């Protein structure tokens, strides 16, 4: 790397990490003031609150606004360089425009890689800590959550595989058991096997489901063979964690677990599968967003204009707001409609790639 690269990268990283650190501190202060009552009711010590909540909250909030702060950092320090005529001097010395952009490419790729790795493995682990605290101490104190949960049914109906359907009545996610269970196995449109039991419970030692008072029917045309068991061990493809769903499920799964979960839900014919697919694709799209916004920010702020940093930041906030609106609309159309999740996750990036290309062609070189 040349001095120019090191000079710009140093400004880039210092501005970004300093701004994200300040934002994290402000976010913690605001969040602590909002959840003060919940912290008091939890009766946890300061150390336990830090370990049981903020250890997950800080990575969660940083990852959420990571692309935006990269964008703001690039605009801020580049605008200062433009205001001091540093960029004019760099280009006038014989450095072409693409060469000037090279450190921004390097910095954008580096920060994109950090966010990509974090989205796949680190942030989901942090969300487990964050969401567990919210579910136990915050949502439980919410009258709205209590009303919503009171209307939810604990009855589960799902597809085990391509030819078997099952249901569990009054399933308890805490004790991993249900009052009754049934399973129908089909061959085409005909039922060839039926299992019904008065209870189902997960055996953590054997890693199997235990059925109690079981009636197993094998059906062959008009003939039927019925066998009764007091208890029967079953090795089903679904596990207790596959039946435990909450508002935080998609955020708590690592990418490997999320891919497995999506395949399982597709096999079962789940109606909410698009929500998980959007989450999966956004983990990759979000990393690319960092790189794209880095280049857009450099192009916008690299031009010296009247008004200085204020104009650059105003334009930057307008573009950021437009990006967020596009992202939200595409997500809603995918989760609530039939819009393809892959396109929904990448649509804002695709659109702003054209914006970046247009700004690049129009920028003075």
Scan for tokens 């569990």, then name that residue. Answer: 168
pLDDT of residue 290: 94
pLDDT of residue 144: 43
Task: Yes or no: say if 193 and 185 are a contact pair by the CB < 8 Å rule.
Answer: yes
- Helix axes of 97-117 and 3-34: crossing angle, nearest 10 degrees: 40
Instruction: Using CB atoms within 10 Å of the CB of residue 34, give its burial: 0 to 12 exposed, 13 to 18 middle, 19+ buried.
Output: exposed
- What is the DSSP track for 138-200? IGGG-HHHHHHHHH----EEEEEETTEEEEEES-BTTTTEESEEEEEEEETTEEEEEEEEEEE
Instruction: Give the span between the Cα atoms of 114 and 111, in whole angstroms.
Output: 5
Scan for tokens 């954008």, then name that residue. Answer: 108
Scan for tokens 């690299």, then name that residue. Answer: 302
Instruction: Using CB atoms within 10 Å of the CB of residue 166, give its burial: 0 to 12 exposed, 13 to 18 middle, 19+ buried.
Output: buried
Secondary structure class of 307 (helix, strand, coil): coil
Q: Which CATH architecture has domain 174-243?
A: Roll (2.30)
Q: What is the CA radius of gyration of the chain?
A: 27
Give the pLDDT of the chain (365 residues) as one tens digit per residue.
Answer: 588 889 999 999 999 999 899 988 999 999 889 888 888 888 888 888 888 889 999 999 999 889 989 999 999 899 888 888 888 888 888 888 889 999 999 999 999 999 999 999 999 999 888 888 887 777 665 544 444 444 445 788 778 877 888 889 888 877 888 888 999 998 888 889 999 999 999 998 888 999 999 999 998 887 889 999 999 998 887 888 777 666 778 888 899 989 988 887 777 666 678 888 999 999 999 999 999 999 999 998 888 776 666 777 788 778 888 888 888 888 888 887 788 999 999 999 999 999 889 888 888 76
pLDDT of residue 150: 43
- What is the DSSP track for 330-345? HHHHHHHSS--HHHHH
Q: DSSP H helical segments within the chain, as ranges?
A: 3-34, 36-42, 46-49, 55-83, 86-92, 97-117, 123-133, 143-151, 240-243, 249-252, 255-268, 273-301, 309-336, 341-362
Structure-token pair, residue 307: 């008004």
Residues of the chain with CATH 2.30.30: 174-243
**pTM: predicted TM-score of the whole model, two decimal places:** 0.78
Report the sign of the C-alpha dihedral through residues 37, 41, 46, 51, in that order: negative
pLDDT of residue 187: 86
């Amino acid at each position: 790397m040349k001095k120019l690269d090191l000079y710009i990268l140093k400004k880039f990283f210092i501005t970004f990490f300093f701004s994200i650190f300040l934002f994290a501190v402000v976010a913690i202060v605001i969040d602590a003031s909002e959840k003060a009552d919940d912290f008091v009711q939890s009766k946890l010590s300061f150390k336990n609150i830090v370990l049981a909540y903020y250890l997950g909250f800080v990575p969660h909030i940083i990852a959420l606004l990571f692309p935006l702060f990269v964008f703001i950092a690039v605009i801020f320090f580049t605008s200062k360089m433009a205001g001091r005529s540093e960029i004019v001097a760099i280009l006038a010395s014989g450095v072409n425009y693409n060469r000037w952009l090279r450190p921004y490419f390097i910095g954008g790729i580096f920060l994109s890689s950090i966010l990509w790795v974090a989205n796949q493995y680190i942030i989901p682990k942090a969300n487990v800590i964050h969401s567990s605290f919210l579910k136990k101490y915050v949502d439980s104190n919410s009258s709205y959550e209590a009303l919503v949960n009171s209307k939810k049914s604990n009855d589960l109906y799902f597809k085990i595989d391509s030819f078997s359907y099952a249901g569990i009545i009054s399933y308890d996610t805490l004790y991993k058991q249900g009052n009754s269970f049934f399973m129908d196995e089909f061959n085409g449109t005909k039922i060839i096997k039926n299992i019904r039991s008065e209870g189902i419970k997960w055996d953590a030692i054997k890693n199997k489901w235990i059925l109690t008072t079981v009636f197993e029917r094998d059906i062959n045309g008009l003939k039927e063979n019925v066998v009764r068991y007091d208890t029967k061990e079953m090795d089903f493809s679904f596990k207790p964690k596959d039946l435990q769903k909450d508002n935080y499920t998609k955020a708590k799964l690592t990418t490997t677990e999320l891919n497995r979960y999506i395949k399982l839900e597709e096999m079962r014919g789940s109606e909410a599968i698009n929500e998980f697919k959007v989450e999966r694709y956004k983990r990759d799209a979000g990393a690319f967003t960092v790189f794209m916004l880095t280049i857009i920010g450099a192009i916008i702020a690299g031009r010296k204009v009247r008004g200085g940093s204020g104009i650059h930041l105003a334009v930057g906030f307008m573009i950021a707001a437009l990006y967020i609106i596009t992202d939200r609309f595409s997500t809603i159309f995918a989760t609530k409609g039939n819009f393809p999740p892959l396109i929904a996750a990448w649509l804002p990036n695709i659109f702003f790639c054209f914006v970046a290309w247009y700004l690049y062609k129009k920028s003075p070189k």
